[in-house]
Every structure is written in C-alpha cells, then in structure tokens.
Amino acid sequence: MRNFSMAFNGHFEAHYERLGFYLDGNYFGMDFKPFKDQGYSKDLSTRLGIMEYGATYRLFGPSASERVAHWDIKSSSNILDIYVGGRIMIAFTLKWYASLDGSVGGFSVDNVSFTGSALGMVGYRTRLFGVPASVEAGYKALSVKVDKPILTADIIMHGPS
C-alpha cells in the first residue's frame, strides 16, 4: 500500500436561541500500490470529500440559552429542529439521549441532482473544561447524484458516524 487509507466523518453545530447552523463533513481516501501482472501495471487512487451545511430552526424544545443554563438538569421536552429535513432528539436521562436526522438537497445546484442522508445516534452529555459538550456515536447513510458533462456519479456511503 502506497499511502495510508482513511475515512473521516465529522459534525459541528452551533445554536443561538432557536436558530442553528450545522456543518457535516465526510472524507474517504484510498490508494493501492501498482502491481505487475503479465507485463502491465494497474493502480487505484480515490479521493472523495463531501461537505453538507445549513441553517436550522428549533420548532419545539428548549432554546440554546435554556439548554446551556439547565445543562445539568434533564429537559422535560424533546427537541425538533427543522431544515430541508429534520432532526429529533429524545432525552432518556439527564446524560443520555438519542438523535435521528434526515435531509434532502441538491435540487440541480451545480449539477448535483440529489443529496440525501439519514443518521441515527446515541449521545452522552458532559462538560469539557467546564463548557457543556456532548459525545455521540451512530450510523449514517449518504447518497449523492451528480450529472456534469464530464462526470456522472451516483454515490452511496454508509457506516459508523
């Protein structure tokens, strides 16, 4: 193997009252060492990076300032954020929760005819250097369809998130 193959998925959210912003990145890289078989060489080199971002609105549940002010208290309300898709968070205890997320996009912007994703996660609320934070683990599926003159791609990626 010529290079270290790797995959990465990251998610960032920031909220102000009922408005939110999210950034979701996915990266996949793979290289194979060329080999010789009967006088010819073959190799494979693939790089794929996909960035999703958008604004959300909290339809119901505590606002961002209410959540931070009461971080150490179990919320009496679950959360529903909407965008071109939706996200719902269900609190089981003060620390543990589950989240389901789904989105659609593309709409032929820059020849991307469709994007869609589904995500299920379990999360744990904690503090990091005194600041409210959470750690999440789950599974994500992502579909992207691109129709450009020199490139047509129909990609489906899925795995742990």
Whether this prediction's pTM lies above 0.85 is answered by no
For residue range 117-129, list pLDDT tens digits in order.
Answer: 899 999 999 998 9
Q: 131-161 b/e with 16+ CB inside 10 Å = b?
A: eeebeeebebebbbbbeeeeeeeeeebeeeb
Distance CA 33, CA 41 (A): 10
Is the pLDDT score of 2 beyond 60? Answer: no
Q: pLDDT grade, residue 51 (50/70/90)?
A: confident
User: Do residues 123 and 133 lie in contact, with contact meaning Cβ atoms separated by under 8 Å?
Assistant: no
57 three-state secondary structure = strand
| Model pLDDT for residues 8-46, shown as the tens digit of each residue | 778 888 889 999 998 888 787 766 555 555 544 456 667
pLDDT at 40: 47
Q: What is the pLDDT of residues 52-69, one digit of tens each?
A: 888 899 998 888 888 888
Burial degree of 119 (CB within 10 A; 0-12, 13-18, 19+): buried
Q: For residue 32, what pLDDT is reported?
A: 58
The per-residue pLDDT of the chain, averaged, comes to: 82
Q: pLDDT tens digits, residue range 68-89?
A: 888 888 777 788 998 888 889 9
The three-class DSSP label of residue 60 is: strand
SS3 77: coil
